[in-house]
Amino acid sequence: MSATIRLFKQLFSALCRVQQSAWINMEPAWSIPAQTHDVLFYLMSRNWIPISEEEIKRLFSNSKSVEVRLSDHSWVLYLPPMKEEPRFLPVLTLECKLDDQQDVMKLRLMLVHCDRGEGKPHCIGFRIEAGQKIHGFYHAQLVKNLEGAAEVENPPVECPLRFPEKQPCLPLKAEDSVTLVLCLLISLYGIKYCWNFINNHQLSELTRHLEYFGKPN
């Protein structure tokens, strides 16, 4: 388990650096539409705080046992913009328990969009995890908010649509917590991006996990 915890420490630290580059430093290489940054990121980050790389390293500092729930601190990770959907803001929160007996990773992803007519952010979300009972496999389900959003006064975003949150339950090609996180990243950015990501951030320990999904053509 120490290898898994170390890997997540490296992976989420790298995603924090991307968050800093894209959303906080606003480096021009990301080409983020002004509406997405100036409205969505500004509104969301007042309630849902971008977690820092230093906090990630602290949370994953114990190599034998880790229990993390970002929503307890209103922390989130703002993932990089999607190439084909740059007007959506990807927001990720997570909960995990990792030790010699447990390998539990629960992800909640919100894709936030601003309705120009109303000037109000709306969202659709996905819960990505291994379930129990009839959903005892790695899967994704639709959800309407971030974990813990119900406890936040005046939540920054809402989902006005009606849709089922228990079924359908879409199976994912994952075999552990690491490949579950990779499923999320591949679904947003594609396999080629993920290979470039681990090479650019020198995450060589992720190679064998990413090979589970194959290599880009």
On the question of pLDDT at 177 being above 90, the answer is yes
- pLDDT for residue 151 is more than 50: no
Between 191-200 and 177-189, two packed helices, what is the crossing angle to 10 degrees?
110
Q: pLDDT tens digits, residue range 92-131?
A: 999 999 998 889 999 999 998 876 655 677 778 899 988 5
For residue 197, pLDDT over 90 is answered with yes
**pLDDT value of position 37:** 86
Cα 113 to chain centroid, rounded? 16
What integer is the mean pLDDT of 33-56? 88
pLDDT band at 1 (very low <50, low <70, confident <90, very high): low
Rounded Cα distance, 22 and 18, in Å: 6
Backbone angles phi, psi at 195, to 5 degrees: -65, -45
pLDDT computed for residue 185 by the predictor: 97
Q: With cut-offs at 50, 70 and 90, classify the pLDDT of residue 174.
A: very high
Instruction: Match 């992976």 to its residue by tokens.
Output: 11
SS3 189: helix
pLDDT, residue 168, reads 72
Supply the pLDDT for residue 149: 46
Q: Collapsing DSSP states into helix, strand and coil, what is residue 122? A: strand
